[in-house]
Amino acid sequence: MPKKKQRGDRFDGKLIRGLDPMHVFMPYLLPKRTDNEAVMNELVDMTAVLEYVAKKNADQPEFKYTMFHVICAAVAKTIALRPKLNYFIINRKYYERNDISLAFTVKKRFVDHSPEALAIVRLDKESEASPIDTVYSQVKKVVCHVKKDDQNDGATDVMGVLSKIPPFILRGVVRLLNFLDAHGWLPKELVKVDPYHTSVFLSNLGSIKMSATYHHLAEWGTNSFFMIIGEMKKRPFYNDDGSVEVKNALELGITIDERIADGLYFINSIKLVKKLLADPELLELPLNEKIDF
């Protein structure tokens, strides 16, 4: 049963009440999201993920499972079990987002002139479905949609309309939109298609052979969490006895608003992501089913 909306809640999130004094004051002392970026990089062994993807593709589905599906599912389950990762700060107040939403870009074709489209996958925090099945089916749907030559995503359609407004008027429109967003009055249909109003924005740079591991946050919207997925390469891993094993691995670059939680909370959240990637079968459990890590 969804929780009843209380005074101070937004349509896209519930107000966090009972904060300690430090967190009450932080948005006043450090009001900008871009001034509070915590940056983390983690090298992740992908051996188990590759084996899991091969197993899922053994039946030769038309739309193949990929590492991206597994990483997205692992991030979604981590957010479900570590809810502070789903916090956002706007108008100097803390909120917890009502759903779990993952945004990413889709290149229609891997050529310079091909446009990009924005895609969003949404998961119900109370869902009994497994995150891997939910992510796979929704990614399949959005990718097949935006790769059609005549299809755009909703955010691009909105920007297309706004871009036709004369610049001197557009500046005022953007100020108005920021004011509306600060008070939770932005049109729901706009929030629904905007990747900067999601739990996490993922960029799969490894798919285009780019090695960057950092992306900034933005003042627009409510997104507090950005993840870069690097290129998979052979990397050395050192065992406790000093021996070395070479494994397929990639680097995850994480940028997060440090005001939403403390360092220990972030480190434990990363441990959970790595646990799920080391044992992807856990992603077939219901989204909110707890696991030990």
Residue 105: give its domain's CATH number. Answer: 3.30.559.10
Instruction: Examine residue 145 and state whether it is found in any structural domain, yes or no.
Output: yes
Instruction: Examine residue 98 and state whether it is found in any structural domain, yes or no.
Output: yes
Query: Can you give the residue range of the structural domain that contains 114?
Result: 13-284
Instruction: Examine residue 78 and state whether it is found in any structural domain, yes or no.
Output: yes
Number of domains in the chain: 1
By residue count, the chain amounts to 293
Instruction: Examine residue 292 and state whether it is found in any structural domain, yes or no.
Output: no
pLDDT tens over the chain, length 293 residues: 456 788 899 999 999 999 999 999 999 999 999 999 999 999 999 999 999 999 999 988 889 999 999 999 999 999 999 999 999 999 999 999 999 999 998 876 666 666 677 889 999 998 889 999 999 999 998 887 766 655 556 666 777 777 788 888 889 989 999 999 999 999 998 999 899 999 999 999 988 888 888 999 999 999 999 999 999 999 999 988 989 999 999 999 999 999 999 999 999 999 999 999 999 999 999 999 999 88
Q: Compute the C-alpha angle 284/231/142, nearest 5°.
A: 50
DSSP state string for 57-106: TTT--SS---HHHHHHHHHHHHHHHSGGGGEEEETTEEEEESSEEEEEEE
Instruction: Examine residue 213 and state whether it is found in any structural domain, yes or no.
Output: yes
Is this structure's pTM higher than 0.75? yes
Eight-state DSSP code of residue 10: B
Instruction: Examine residue 140 and state whether it is found in any structural domain, yes or no.
Output: yes
